[in-house]
Structure 1
């Protein structure tokens, strides 16, 4: 019998979280679409995770060990380069797929007219004080993807979102345009903005809830690092990829939120100066900016929870 090559490769970068990784792996093994492989990229010495993986006897599971940590972006690139599948689905090690994810997104890209279709789906965002279904809408016709993921049009987040665990991408595209290897934050946004410049790329919205994103503020991660200044420098470096509206919104919401958590009020002047001189803030941006700096995070969470209560 000829061995059939897997059509989908699920890439999971990980480091030091075997109990969460096990949950992620198990969610892939429950998929209705069974023609896949799972590539675990262990980013650094991690004997506990290696021991846990030895419990799995499924031959579709493969592991790669980076003896020197590379960071989340390059760990994903390494997984992609080792993938045998035509399609790549990413999964963060602290998230999980719902059973129909691979099948639904595979059907979405197969029906696309784009040479390089990028599918993204809805997810359940599980935060410490609430649970949400995001994104609330698809990308509108002729809407720039930068405005979709960065510009806030609502007081509540989640209107537009593209997060790593949502993505389903052609391998060839990821080989041509890989993740930036040295980024500490915003890896998926950085990749989405760059790949959007490709003439043969199109974003295909799969209007189904297909994954769970666990949003834990104090959990260690190989991707979530860097100060508010790092994020400001990142968006300055991507200025040509975004509109003035998206630039200002990112500064006044994302960068402000990081600075407020760091309790660094020196950020306020610089954020406002850049937002108004190089960007075009909206009324919503200004309200959110005032809320971030004037209302405690706990109070903001409770307000968000109240308005999302069904």
Structure 2
């Protein structure tokens, strides 16, 4: 009896957007520019914003492999990782591809980002693979400050940077973050992952976040990372900084974030 054939490889890239009409089009161009020969479908989920829906409708013809879906909120839903988790899980369920990648609307990739992840995953027989990250400021210049951007104060940012530099996560003078599964306090960013769709169906994004999570700035990609570590899931790493992460808003020292932005990055416990 012939063995059943494996499904043809394909990738669905899921992007969530709400208030970034310019940045999300940059992300869409980045997905369109991917050089892999593996079929790539881009799913953009609009988080309850009709204005962005109208903007993207005007340019949809330029992105033939991009599906744009409007997702209204329930009355009880608020901004934060709980909402983001539900949207990411929706994207995974909606997809029919073998692989899932996530590109946040304010980030972009090198053209060979997906190809390098696919090759790495195939070579190592892994259902999960990730890239390293290059940090950029809002204007696109490399961020080389000796301060960890995700901190509540300048003192904390400098101390954290020194600690992570000693552990090989960052390097003075470089804007690259070296993701590692054994450095648990620096979870892999969502936009760096390539994940088997069935794996994400088995291990969906957690959509429950407590007041403690809010205090500790725990996000949905943190929880996914910890779930994969706990499962002992084999993970491959390209070792290449093909994700370009633009800093701003949440990604600033807490002391320097404007009050309006600080409100936007907080979330209610659920």
TM-score range relative to shorter protein:
0.5 to 0.7
Q: Does the 8 Å contact 1:38/1:60 carry over to 2?
A: yes
1:204, CA displacement in angstroms? Answer: 1.0
Structure with higher Rg: it is 1
Q: Does the 8 Å contact 1:122/1:133 carry over to 2?
A: no
Which residue, 75, 86, 97 being the options, matches 2:98?
A: 86
Gaps of 5+ in 2: 1-6, 78-82, 145-173, 250-256
Moved over 4 A (4+): 218-223
Q: How far apart are the structure 1 equivalents of 2:194 and 2:22?
A: 25
1:225, CA displacement in angstroms? Answer: 2.4
Which residue, 118, 121, 130 being the options, matches 1:120?
A: 130
The total of aligned residue pairs comes to 207
1:223, CA displacement in angstroms? Answer: 8.8
Gaps of 5+ in 1: 140-144, 151-159, 235-310
> TM-score, structure 1 length as denominator?
0.60
Q: Does the 8 Å contact 2:10/2:40 carry over to 1?
A: yes
1:133, CA displacement in angstroms? Answer: 3.4
Q: Deviations over 1:135-167 (max 9, x none)?
A: 23x63xxxxx4x5130xxxxxxxxx55111111
Instruction: State whether structure 2 residue 222 is matched by structure 1 residue 186.
Output: no
Q: CA RMSD in A?
A: 2.9
Tell me the equivalent position of 1:285: none
Tell me the equivalent position of 2:53: 49
Map 1:95-134; keep pairs closer than 5 Å. Answer: 95-114=107-126, 117-127=127-137, 130-131=143-144, 132-134=174-176
Instruction: State whether structure 2 residue 240 is matched by structure 1 residue 208.
Output: yes
1:215, CA displacement in angstroms? Answer: 1.1
1:59, CA displacement in angstroms? Answer: 3.0
Q: Does the 8 Å contact 1:9/1:88 carry over to 2?
A: yes
Q: Hey, which of these two has a bigger chunk of helix by percent? A: 1
Specify which structure has the bigger relative contact order, considering alpha-carbon pairs within 8 angstroms and separated by 6 or more residues: 2
User: Secondary structure at the residue paired with 1:207?
Assistant: coil
